[in-house]
Structure 1
Amino acid sequence: MPLRIPQEDLQWITTHCGQEVVDGLLRQAQDTGWSDLHLRRPVWTSPGTSYNGAVLFIALVAPPRQQLVVKVICAGPPGREAAAHTAALNAVGTFAQQHLVDQPHPSLDLPDGRAVMFQEVAGDRLTDVFPAGALTHEERKTVIKAVVQGLLSDWNENVLENAGLERMTVSEFLRRELNDVWTGGGSLQAFGQELRVLDPSRPWLYSDGMRLPNPYLLVEGGHSALMDPVITILRGLGHGDLHLDNILVPREEKLVQPQAYRLIDLCTFNMSADLGRDVATLLLSALVRYMDHEQELPHDQRHALLRFMVDPDAAHRARIVPEAAELVATVRRAARESMTGWGDPWERQFLLSLMATALRFTTYTKISEAGRTWFARLAAHAGGEVLFQSGEKGIGARPWPLEPGKDSFSLAPGFARVGPTTRERTVEFVPDEVPRRRLWDTRTGAPDALAVVGFGPDDTVVAIDNEGGVRRWTVAGDELPGTTGRAPRLRLGHQSLVASLTHTVLVARPKQLEIMHFPQGSGAIPLRPVPLDNGEHFLVTSGGDVFATHNRHELTVRNFEDGTPIETLSCPPSMAASAVSIDASVVAMASSREVHIYPRGQEPIRRSVANSLVFLPKLMRKATPDPGLQLAVSPSGSHVGCVTFEEVVVWRTSDGSEVYSRKLTKRESKEAVGAKGMRLVCTETGTLFWLRRGRLSIPTMDGGTQLEQSGTGADVALSRNGRLIALLSTDGRLEVRAL
């Protein structure tokens, strides 16, 4: 009996799948004895995401009565899905019966290279079965836990009990995992080109205040500056593309049944897969929503999430939105429990799986550019942790990177930039940049002549009193949680600093540094104090992504996460002042009459300056010790400014050229004496703002133009992007203006 298909259904199949599929169904009916076939109405299409262009529909056939998922698969690699699915069904029978869907009929090969698969409906129904990506957070979390445990403990139970150990280098592992997107200048290398990180002269990259290995060069391997350690790994059964929409979960009485999950789309099933790949893919697919625009995390939370994923730490977790942190913790805990006895080798294998999967996610164009760049960052962080655990020298200390003043993960011109932007380093000097528009002002509380102001992530504004008490606001003026101070008082003004990447505040107390994190919506979480070596240490009151201290002999750049050293530079004799850029890509130090500038990756620059107490008689000048001076570095490090008792000078760090200089007036020289109410900051254009005895001026304008202000200034700060300036007065008034 010929197969009967309603005209409306026949037209739908022809339109969406082609006549070849209709012909294939007619041939299939001859082999199975079907007499009737019609589509389930309304026409069902997969509620998940199809990445390979397959067309799915539900066919009701008889006799015998069956409800089938018909999947028309594209030609090429996806066409192997039927064979891969069969191999998965045969691999572990018990797991397959519980968590895969059967193929009741052989697949059909079409003349144009496509294939048609016939699969059972998961749970024998559609109305109460949902992809994991469509579930609520709590439901999704329980399903992810069940799937991770099932993958490792059930599907791969025999592997974990009987498998031998495989040894290979990091680069061999990564190339094997990324073969299809890496070889022949594939899509992975294309995105690396957009990020401008494929240059082999850049084995180390700067990101998030840390020195990290270039993940693209780790894949390539063989770089003399990058370790390529040998690791031990386990291989076993793997789905290969286990994102949330490839997991179907039923509900009973409206309650999700996490243990009844079914895995679909087994095109990439492999009998000898990296056991970490499915776990990493599942985790990253669950986090995509937090990287894309719809639910994008604030900058500091994105940074904390990076660190929490590769280095689980309660301090990182406390600064992440709970839902995202719970997903990471759930996956890691479930995997760790399933991999009992494998311990450290599993941790390194999973970090590499995370790195490879993150790089693969950078090739998914459905993810925003900001999200894809975050995944590139994750790959670098994971690679850095692998090298650190493998004993790579310098990773723990994280020496600084090669390219000055740049976040290494910035997209090339023509692509959206990620995170705070800075003006181009080639901008010429602008001598009349002034605060043009008041945004808001507030009262911080009690008067404090030694209070400090700074900008945190997302242009939050922070005021710190002389006992380390912290008050915080959004740039719109809404107050955020802070903390009270304690004795003893800080040594003198400016012994505190505000981080620019995370909601973190640092205060320098006698012989130790106190670091406080402020998670979104909550008060301070203090870290264990960071002890300082014997001798007096000074906090370099600039930076932001990182910070620096010095003891007049050595200047140490430190990680804002926990105070660990990044790099150490020798100080010039009789050092009088120091300053660093936001990321410490440019460090400036000076003696009384000589300024030393250290741009990252360039030769140091040395410049002489005139400096004497010109308002004193010559005889008194000779008897007076060498006077000090003040230094400032622009946020990106494009310019360095210096004010002595005689002159003001600004240099461009790209070539060391002098872009502005003038002699100070006698009044300016006299008012430059003292420590209280003094501060110098430099904008990206080279304009200097000088807080001199509590009065704010622009010394890079002839005569040192004084700015209007309310009261006497205690401190002044510039935002990370150089577009906002904050002035804190001794009477507790805080004012923010736009530049």
Structure 2
Amino acid sequence: MHIPPEDVVLLQETCGVEFVEELKRQGRDVGWTELRLRRPLWSTPGSSYTGAVLLPVLVAPPPRQLLMKVIPAGSAGREASAHAEALDAVPAFSARHLVGQPYPARDLPDGRTVMFQEVAGASLVHVTPAGSLPPQEQNQVVEKVVRGLLADWNELGLKEAVPEQLTVSRSLTRALGDVWTDGGSLQAFGRRLGVFAPSSPWLYSDGMRLPNPYLLVDGRNPALADPAVPVLHGLGHGDLHLDNILVPRREKVVQPQEYRLIDLCTFSKRADVGGDVATLLLSALLPHVNHPQELPPDQRHALLRFIVDPDASHRTDIVPGVAARVTAVRDTARDVMHGWGDPWDVQLLLSLTAVALRFTTYTKISAAGRTFCARLAAHACGEVLARTQDGGVAARPPIADRDRDSFTMAGFGQEGGRTPVFVPDQGPRGRRWRRETGVPDDRAVLGFGPAHTLVAIDSVGGIRRWTAVGDPLPGVDGRSPRQRLGHQSLVASLTHSVVVARPKELEIVRFPREGGTFRPPSVPLRNGDHFLVTSGGDVFATHDRRHLTVHRFDDGAPIEELTCPPAMAASAVSMDASVVAMARSREVHIHRRGHPPVRWSVANSIPHLRNPLLRMVTPDPGLQLAVSPRGGHVGCVTFEEVVVWSTEDEREVYRRRLTDREAREALGAKWMRLVCTETGTLFWLRRGRLSIPTTDGGTQLQQSGTYADVAVDRDGTLMATLSTEGRLEVWDL
């Protein structure tokens, strides 16, 4: 086979000396006597983003114009076989909208593959990538492509399809593939942003609270629901951006119905049917959002909401033409899939979440463009949860403060951007059940036992119990003397047991599975200076202000002892006591099992007594401490400020000064309770009123009457409240 000398030189420079000999053997096998590069070259020889070398060639006999593609070894090297599989899937569609492989691909000794494709539209001059078209022509093309994908390419498959029920996390993990699994680029990008645990499960976009999409893919955060949704599978291109769609012109007029799809290396017969539609939509929007600066907030917010939850009013804030670009993809797809309706909308939102997350890893997209993609992922998955759960994590309506924006403050889309701001407002959403205990008691204590059972202990040690759905369980009556102090009881989280602090001893009551009650020997207390630490669950702890002792819950035997700081004012432990917090008036000490202790300072002074001279003659004020169930966060409320720390990386994640009203209301409040969830949200009970202090200004929760106690389960998914009138309520968090 003859190859012109100047072409041999160019082929050797771009593909290697040995490649030319392989090419000649290929020519002999198929009967070519001549091969030459088409001049002028269609594009500068070199590598595509996959590293493939693309060269237009003329061969004979018979005389043909082909595109020669040399694919590097590795995963991209399956393009030839994937392309052949796509051509065979639906021959009628392939003849109209794919490019053929008239000659078999050839594997090279070094692992590369060379394939020969027909030229789309039979021309390298009169065919244009859809991404280069003016907006109006581009919209015409994407409408035809979306309709062709769903109504033609997948017509037979969708007629016979049975949806697969997948959890949201499983569906997203599948769609993301290798960018997520095994520490892929998306996980690496997320770690640089600091959006994985212990980050908050919530993010804000223009004042709307949204789920953290990175944690939603992970699927293990108890604060984020992971519902199962029906997902349709079928034929999928896998990388259908606008430049992978070629469109011919005839007499300078674009022919959208004659589009051709190229670069089928990611083709799959078992693809998420919404994936190509979502990729096409986002690639059509990139020219509008891929700039050095983000869109103005009103434009950005309107566009994001128009994509995931369209409202005609959004159009007034969107740049003319961009809304038409969205509807050309989204509405065309819904028109074709109208028989599937609402489930299709949810699947497309899931697909948008996955594609938008994938786009955040593309370095050719600007930081502002990647931030838009991260926002879109949060909005889309928030809408999925809103549509799949009664009372779920809805992204609407927006909260009052429209200026809250995690993405801007966190530097989303920027490598090395600082960790997203703490979003601490995991408030109760829907009430699960309500019961009347019949025993009004302002010193009653509440706690969750195993399997979400609930236990209430009154001020004389009477125990009442309920199942996870509110059915009564056996309990015991109380007896004199009363508990030593308010909240001096604790419920075990692993066994059906309760510990009650009496004046000189700790009484343990167990409820065996076979029925009845069992009371191990009491744990002696040194009267007056020995106290029960009212947190824990797998174990319990006591302190005498000199030493804090961790005890086994079955018999009260001591298993660990820590030295208390001088003048200790408060203490709290995690469920298993692996994290212990002890505090003086202005200093918090954190002990983590297997790690050196950490010490943090806090501001603390009583309102109206903050003059330096007055502080010298007034006693040091107390404070409140809480440790999250698994020990990931420690919270503190003083008379001046509220602070939350992450114990995993020893950083402060939230701090604000208390309002004067909050500080005044804490003065003299009896039996206060501070509870910390695993996400770092604090619940603060004082004077019978429950608030979330980890929001700017504090959030007072709506309630009927006053509360005696509040409890959060070990997973952080349920909260229970007990009113002073004896009303028990269980809420989803």
TM range (shorter): 0.5 to 0.7
> Is the CA contact 1:132–1:249 (under 8 Å) kept in the aligned structure 2?
yes
Decide whether aligned partners of structure 1 residues 602 and 382 sit closer, same or farther in structure 2, where only a CA change above 3 A counts. Answer: farther
Report the counterpart of residue 132 of structure 2 in structure 1: 134
Take 1:231 and 1:97, find their aligned partners in 2: how far apart are those partners? 35
Report the counterpart of residue 439 of structure 2 in structure 1: none
Report the counterpart of residue 326 of structure 1 in structure 2: 324
Amino acid at match of 1:313: D
**1:204 counterpart (202, 205, 214):** 202
Residue 206 of structure 1 deviates from its aligned partner by 2.3
Amino acid at match of 2:167: T
Q: Deviations over 1:507-540 (max 9, x none)?
A: xxxxxxxxxxxxxxxxxxxxxxxxxxxxxxxxxx
Structural mapping, 1:20-59, within 5 Å: 20-45=18-43, 50-59=48-57
Larger Rg: 2
**1:234 counterpart (232, 235, 242):** 232
Q: Deviations over 1:225-272 (max 9, x none)?
A: 111101011100000000011000000011100000000000000001
Give TM-score scaled by structure 1 length: 0.56
Report the counterpart of residue 362 of structure 1 in structure 2: 360
Report the counterpart of residue 251 of structure 1 in structure 2: 249
Amino acid at match of 1:157: E
**2:12 counterpart (11, 14, 20):** 14
Q: Deviations over 1:383-403 (max 9, x none)?
A: 1000000115353367989xx
Report the counterpart of residue 101 of structure 2 in structure 1: 103
Residue 306 of structure 1 deviates from its aligned partner by 1.2
Report the counterpart of residue 189 of structure 1 in structure 2: 187
Decide whether aligned partners of structure 1 residues 410 and 295 sit closer, same or farther in structure 2, where only a CA change above 3 A counts. Answer: closer
Structural mapping, 1:437-516, within 5 Å: none
> Is the CA contact 1:277–1:353 (under 8 Å) kept in the aligned structure 2?
yes
Take 1:123 and 1:406, find their aligned partners in 2: how far apart are those partners? 47
Structural mapping, 1:720-731, within 5 Å: none
Take 1:146 and 1:354, find their aligned partners in 2: how far apart are those partners? 20
> Is the CA contact 1:110–1:116 (under 8 Å) kept in the aligned structure 2?
yes
**1:299 counterpart (291, 297, 300):** 297
**1:73 counterpart (71, 74, 78):** 71
> Is the CA contact 1:47–1:131 (under 8 Å) kept in the aligned structure 2?
no
Residue 43 of structure 1 deviates from its aligned partner by 1.3
Amino acid at match of 1:168: L
Decide whether aligned partners of structure 1 residues 412 and 87 sit closer, same or farther in structure 2, where only a CA change above 3 A counts. Answer: same
> Is the CA contact 1:197–1:408 (under 8 Å) kept in the aligned structure 2?
no
Report the counterpart of residue 406 of structure 2 in structure 1: 407
Take 2:314 and 2:277, find their aligned partners in 1: how far apart are those partners? 21
Task: Please state whether the residue corresponding to 1:59 is helix, strand or coil.
Answer: strand
Take 1:47 and 1:330, find their aligned partners in 2: how far apart are those partners? 35
Take 1:260 and 1:268, find their aligned partners in 2: how far apart are those partners? 22
Residue 637 of structure 1 deviates from its aligned partner by 9.4
Residue 200 of structure 1 deviates from its aligned partner by 3.9
> Is the CA contact 1:594–1:606 (under 8 Å) kept in the aligned structure 2?
no
Residue 12 of structure 1 deviates from its aligned partner by 0.9
Amino acid at match of 2:138: R
Task: Please state whether the residue corresponding to 1:178 is helix, strand or coil.
Answer: helix
2:276 pairs with 1:278: yes
Take 1:304 and 1:239, find their aligned partners in 2: how far apart are those partners? 30
Q: Deviations over 1:350-388 (max 9, x none)?
A: 000000000000111111122112111111111100000
> Is the CA contact 2:206–2:297 (under 8 Å) kept in the aligned structure 1?
no
Take 1:134 and 1:46, find their aligned partners in 2: how far apart are those partners? 18
Residue 50 of structure 1 deviates from its aligned partner by 3.4
Residue 136 of structure 1 deviates from its aligned partner by 0.6
Task: Please state whether the residue corresponding to 1:184 is helix, strand or coil.
Answer: helix
**1:342 counterpart (334, 340, 343):** 340
Decide whether aligned partners of structure 1 residues 602 and 305 sit closer, same or farther in structure 2, where only a CA change above 3 A counts. Answer: farther
Residue 411 of structure 1 deviates from its aligned partner by 4.7
Take 1:202 and 1:239, find their aligned partners in 2: how far apart are those partners? 35
Report the counterpart of residue 287 of structure 1 in structure 2: 285
Q: Any unmatched runs of 5+ in structure 2?
A: 422-606, 611-632, 642-653, 662-695, 697-733
Decide whether aligned partners of structure 1 residues 43 and 28 sit closer, same or farther in structure 2, where only a CA change above 3 A counts. Answer: same
Take 2:155 and 2:70, find their aligned partners in 1: how far apart are those partners? 33
Give TM-score scaled by structure 2 length: 0.56
Task: Please state whether the residue corresponding to 1:322 is helix, strand or coil.
Answer: coil
Identity level (%):
57
Q: Deviations over 1:589-648 (max 9, x none)?
A: xxx9999xxxx996666569xxxxxxxxxxxxxxxxxxxxxxxxxxx99678989xxxxx
Structural mapping, 1:650-689, within 5 Å: none
Report the counterpart of residue 309 of structure 1 in structure 2: 307
> RMSD across aligned C-alpha pairs, in angstroms?
3.5
Residue 297 of structure 1 deviates from its aligned partner by 3.1
Decide whether aligned partners of structure 1 residues 47 and 127 sit closer, same or farther in structure 2, where only a CA change above 3 A counts. Answer: farther
Decide whether aligned partners of structure 1 residues 299 and 282 sit closer, same or farther in structure 2, where only a CA change above 3 A counts. Answer: same
> Is the CA contact 1:142–1:258 (under 8 Å) kept in the aligned structure 2?
yes
Q: Deviations over 1:25-63 (max 9, x none)?
A: 101111111111111111122899933121111100111
Decide whether aligned partners of structure 1 residues 398 and 325 sit closer, same or farther in structure 2, where only a CA change above 3 A counts. Answer: closer
Report the counterpart of residue 266 of structure 1 in structure 2: 264
Report the counterpart of residue 3 of structure 2 in structure 1: 5
Task: Please state whether the residue corresponding to 2:377 is helix, strand or coil.
Answer: helix
Take 2:390 and 2:141, find their aligned partners in 1: how far apart are those partners? 37
Decide whether aligned partners of structure 1 residues 385 and 412 sit closer, same or farther in structure 2, where only a CA change above 3 A counts. Answer: closer
Task: Please state whether the residue corresponding to 1:318 is helix, strand or coil.
Answer: helix
Amino acid at match of 2:114: V
Q: Deviations over 1:414-467 (max 9, x none)?
A: 947999x99xxxxxxxxxxxxxxxxxxxxxxxxxxxxxxxxxxxxxxxxxxxxx
Residue 207 of structure 1 deviates from its aligned partner by 2.5
Report the counterpart of residue 377 of structure 1 in structure 2: 375
Of 196-205 and 215-224, more deviation after overlay is shown by 196-205
Residue 144 of structure 1 deviates from its aligned partner by 0.5
Decide whether aligned partners of structure 1 residues 641 and 282 sit closer, same or farther in structure 2, where only a CA change above 3 A counts. Answer: same
Residue 413 of structure 1 deviates from its aligned partner by 11
Residue 20 of structure 1 deviates from its aligned partner by 3.2
Amino acid at match of 2:216: L
Q: Any unmatched runs of 5+ in structure 1?
A: 423-591, 609-635, 644-683, 685-739
Amino acid at match of 1:351: L
Structural mapping, 1:705-720, within 5 Å: none
Residue 195 of structure 1 deviates from its aligned partner by 2.1
Decide whether aligned partners of structure 1 residues 248 and 173 sit closer, same or farther in structure 2, where only a CA change above 3 A counts. Answer: same
Take 2:273 and 2:62, find their aligned partners in 1: how far apart are those partners? 40
> Is the CA contact 1:74–1:114 (under 8 Å) kept in the aligned structure 2?
yes
